[in-house]
Every structure is written in C-alpha cells, then in structure tokens.
Amino acid sequence: MTKRGFLSENEYKQATPGGSLCVRLYGLPKVHKIGIPLRPIISSIGSYNYHLVKLLAAKLQPLRKNKYILKDTFDFVESIKKLNRTSLKYRMVSFHVTGLFTKVPLSYTINLILDKMYEPEHICPEFIKVKSDWYSKCLDRNYMKTLLDIATFDTHFSFNNLYYQQHNGVTMRSPLAPVLSDIFMIHLENKLIDKLKKAGVLWYKKYVDDTFVIIRKAKINNIKKILNSVHKDIKFTSVQEQSNELLFLDVLVRRNNKMLETSVYRKPTYTSLLLKWPSFVPKRYEISAISCMVYRAIHISSSFTIMHKEFDFIQDITKLNGYPKNFVECQIRHTLNRYIAKQNMLNTDNETKQSEQKHDNKETHIDRIVFNVPYAEKATRQFSKEINKLAKKKEHGAPQNITTTEPNQNLRRSERIAKSKRLQIYYGESDNNTDEEEVPQITTTSAIQQHIASTKHKIDWNNWLILDNDNHSYGLLVKGSLAITENSPSLNRTTRSIPLLVYPEGIRKRSIQNNTTSQDSK
C-alpha cells in the first residue's frame, strides 16, 4: 500500500503496531436506569490495531458531514436559537436507538463507505486474476476494505479469562465507533427523510443515537413506525415532552411564551461531588473544575436569569467541596470576561479575525516536547516556571540574534546604544546580561529593517560599537537623544528619544558654545 502511494510514509509509521496487548471487555453500570444495566466497554488503547483505527477515523471524517448531525451540546443549543418561531408551537419528541453501537451492521456499513469513496464495486476482482493489473480505483477500494476489516472484524478482546473476536457491531471507546455509527445512521436518514417530512416532521437533529424532533402532535406513532421499519436491527424508542419540557443530551428544553428556553440538566443521580479543595493536585486542576461548569452555564443558558441561577448552584456545590467563595467568584468572573471579550471580537470584525487566525495557524508550526514529572507543590510550580523560561519564541527577521558568548556578569539589565562602524545608525535596545560582542536585535518594523528591505543593502551585523549603556530605561533614552542630536543619523525616524530639558541642543554643542563665550570674554 505504501509503495503504491495509498498510504504515506507517515501514515504507514502511524498504523504500524508495536508493543501490543489484548484489550479487556468490562461493564459500566447505568445507575440512572432501572435495574442498573451494564454498558459494555472495550478500551482499544494498546491493541495492535489501535493506531490504524485512529488513522481510519480521521480519514473517514468527511463522510460524517450532514446537516442533521450535531457536533455537541453547544451546537444543539445554537440550533435551538435559530429555530423559526412558527415551529415552536408544535410538539417536541426525542427518539433513541436502542444499543446502536452493538447493532451497527459492519459488512453493510463498510460497503457503504467503499461505495461513497470509490463508487460501486468494479468487475476487476472477477475477471482480472493479477491484482497489480487492476484499475487504480479497484485497488484502492480493496486496500481500504482490508484496512477496515482489520480495524473492525479482527478486533480481539478478553472477558473472564476467555478470548473473543468481534463479528458485528462496533465497540464503545473505539475512535472508529462513532464514525461508523454516524455513517450508517446518515444513510438510513437519507432514505427516510422525505417520508418523515410528509409524516409531519418539521425539525430534525441527531447526536449519535439520540434524535431531537419537532413534529405535529397527531403524527408521533406514525413517525416511530417509519423509523423502526428501515432496518431489522435498529429499533427506536421515543420520549414526548411533559409539562412543556423535554430532556435532550444534558440540556433541559422548556417551552415558555412561544420560545424555547435551554438550561443545564443534571440527572437525579448527580452527587455534587467535585475535586476537593484540599486535594494534593496542581492548582490548575481546581481552576478547571470550576471554569468548565461556568463555561457550560454561559453557553447553555438561554437567558441571564437562568445563567445567574446556574452560577448560584455552582457556588453551592463548590462550597460543599471546600472551595473558598472568593476563589469561585474569581473563576466565574474570569470565564465570563473571556466569553464577553470573545463575543465583542467576533461582533466587531468576525470575518477578518477568522481569516487571520486561519492564516496564522497554517504558517505556525510548534514543536512540542512533553514529559511527565511528579507533583510536589511549590517545587513543581517553580520547576514549571523555569521550564517556561527556556521556551524561546522564534521570530522571523533579519537576522536571528543568536549568541554563544558568556554573559557579562557586571551588567544586570543594560539598555544599550549602538552604531555601525560603516553606517551612522543609532538605536536603543534592552537585553539581559549582554556584552559588546553580541549581535544587536532588529525588529521587523524598525527603520533599519525597512532600509534593508528597500535598498537591498547588506549590513555587517557583527561590526557594531557599544556607545553607552545604562541600567535604567530613562537614562538610556536621555543618552540616545543626546547621541542623535550630536550625530544626526539619517535613518532615525525621530530627532530624539525623549525631550532634552537640560541640554536641548546637545552636550557637544553646549560645550562648544561655552568655550566660544569664554574666549570672547577674554
């Protein structure tokens, strides 16, 4: 596959297994349901095909695009806000697919994927015996099918010391599971959507196995029959709104004065247990425990009144977990301020900001080094600060200021004035522990840089003289203004860095005038 170019070299390395193990099947109890049934989970991390599964999940993402698919809770809330008011007077219903992941027909779904990517199967496998002589689409289709079979049918797991092989359905916690289930459900919806609209469906949104629908009241049972008739393994259950309220995902949707209000919903089994304040963890974990709840309150609440009630609830449960009131209020304030600042930025210049951000993201490549260290409170925090100091932001300019000389310990923070031996150019610079051998820093917006760009003049960056230095920025500005007044360099944009109150005409001119005056008096 790699030799033919079906997989790149990086994809080949990513999909190659190493140090694999047989994963286990275990169950998570659904404590919010009657009888506390178990949800079967197979964590594929560490399995031989885990990296291949991640690679295929990324490749198949475009097939999940559909106008009825919801990305997350926040996407659902935004969709509710855009609803036409005429649709709000009808009935809200949610449909749920029973055991979707275990009911996804693998062979059927894999063929759907292959048909969408490479068109229906060609006659090459039947009439051409040598695979290398097949058409390129036939070969690519065969390669993709092989990879999908390895990622699904060839999944192995253990349970109660016995080993099993997957033969149908997809496993929860697998990166490929939501992708395959969405592709299968999108196919079913595309076949049914016209019938559903004729049956009374006015608005339709789906997240994995849950569907939120606005329909005419008398059409609920008819719509349910249509949904259950599409595939023998897929069965839908329905929940209708009660007292003008309906739960969907973790959102409570309420009909109020011909409007749909949204608020954060928590199941009756919610225990109000958070990360305890005295916990021996980095402080940012405690900050995140609060800020994530505040973020959800801001984005899900449809009014300031609902958001305020949610903030009060957050303060109550954080108090139960030992969090100081001032700390909680500070995190609420910071998260709210970030949200308001972001909204203001989007409202003022949305398109420009987004285009600039995309442009920056394309051109910026950050190499990250990740390593784990044990947490030891102050020592770890200090270590983190020291590591951050080592991270240098690489800026493109002319030239890069890289030094290999030992720092001059006699200078703490030196503000320097420098000039070229060949050109009378002056500028001020701030640096730590620098000496005379270091190449000066030139910003991309400086007069020197603009001179280089316009005239293509090559400057000897190592041939500079340090005229003076000062430990205080104000002292450097005064010395810089005196140097500019004395030499009048052509590239300086200003006549001085700071007003000269004592010697406005410069020290040298003042001394010449004093000498002339003394000679005349004689």
| CATH code assigned at 249 | 3.90.1850.10
What pLDDT does 503 receive? 60
Instruction: State which of 324, 346, 368 marks the end of a domain.
Output: 346
- The type of residue at 261 is E
Q: How many helices (H) and strands (E) does the chain have?
A: 16, 14
158/288 same-domain check: no
What pLDDT does 99 receive? 83
The answer to whether 217 and 90 have CB atoms below 8 angstroms apart is yes
In angstroms, the CA 450 to CA 395 distance is 17
What pLDDT does 412 receive? 37
Question: pLDDT at residue 71 above 80?
Answer: yes
Question: pLDDT at residue 428 above 70?
Answer: no
55/163 same-domain check: yes
In angstroms, the CA 175 to CA 184 distance is 15
DSSP code of 402? -
pLDDT-derived band at 101, boundaries 50, 70, 90: confident
DSSP code of 366? -
Q: Which residues contact 407 (CB under 8 A, 6 or more apart)?
A: 432, 433, 434, 435
In angstroms, the CA 131 to CA 55 distance is 25
Q: Which residues contact 147 (CB under 8 A, 6 or more apart)?
A: 15, 52, 56
221/84 same-domain check: yes
Instruction: Give 317 or 496, the one with higher predicted confidence.
Output: 317
Distance of CA 285 to the CA centre of its chain: 18
Point out the least confidently predicted range of 170-179, 336-345, 369-378.
Answer: 369-378
pLDDT, tens only, 371-390: 787 888 788 888 888 887 77
- Max Cα–Cα distance, the chain, nearest Å: 119
323/445 same-domain check: no
What pLDDT does 464 receive? 66
Residue 351 domain-assigned? Answer: no
What pLDDT does 307 receive? 92
Instruction: State which of 203, 229, 262 marks the end of a domain.
Output: 262
309/339 same-domain check: yes
Residue 84 domain-assigned? Answer: yes
Residue 394 domain-assigned? Answer: no
Instruction: State which of 213, 236, 262 marks the end of a domain.
Output: 262
Q: Which residues contact 302 (CB under 8 A, 6 or more apart)?
A: 77, 80, 81, 260, 261, 262, 263
In angstroms, the CA 396 to CA 363 distance is 12
Point out the least confidently predicted range of 60-64, 93-97, 466-470.
Answer: 466-470
- 41 burial class (0-12, 13-18, 19+ CB within 10 angstroms)? middle
Closest to 49 (Cα-Cα) out of 182, 175, 163: 175
Split into its structural domains, the chain has a count of 3
Instruction: Give 517 or 262, the one with higher predicted confidence.
Output: 262
Point out the least confidently predicted range of 108-117, 237-246, 367-376.
Answer: 367-376
168/196 same-domain check: yes
Percent of the chain with pLDDT over 70: 72
pLDDT-derived band at 126, boundaries 50, 70, 90: low
451/338 same-domain check: no
Domain that holds residue 308: 271-346
What pLDDT does 492 receive? 62
Ranges 13-17, 255-259, 300-304, 377-381, most confident: 300-304
What pLDDT does 411 receive? 40
In angstroms, the CA 442 to CA 424 distance is 16
Percent of the chain with pLDDT over 90: 18
Residue 305 domain-assigned? Answer: yes
Residue 390 domain-assigned? Answer: no
214/164 same-domain check: yes
Residue 400 domain-assigned? Answer: no
User: Can you give 15-84 as a three-state secondary structure string?
Assistant: HCCCCCCCEEEEEEECCCCCCCCEEEEECCCCCCCHHHHHHHHHHCHHHHCCCCECCCHHHHHHHHHCCC
The whole-model pTM stands at 0.65
In angstroms, the CA 114 to CA 149 distance is 12
Instruction: Give 426 or 489, the one with higher predicted confidence.
Output: 489
192/228 same-domain check: yes
238/298 same-domain check: no
Supply the mean pLDDT for the chain.
78
231/148 same-domain check: yes
419/281 same-domain check: no
pLDDT, tens only, 274-332: 999 988 888 889 999 999 999 999 999 999 999 999 999 999 999 999 999 999 999 99
What pLDDT does 329 receive? 92
Residue 404 domain-assigned? Answer: no
Residue 426 domain-assigned? Answer: yes
Question: pLDDT at residue 458 above 90?
Answer: no
pLDDT-derived band at 253, boundaries 50, 70, 90: very high
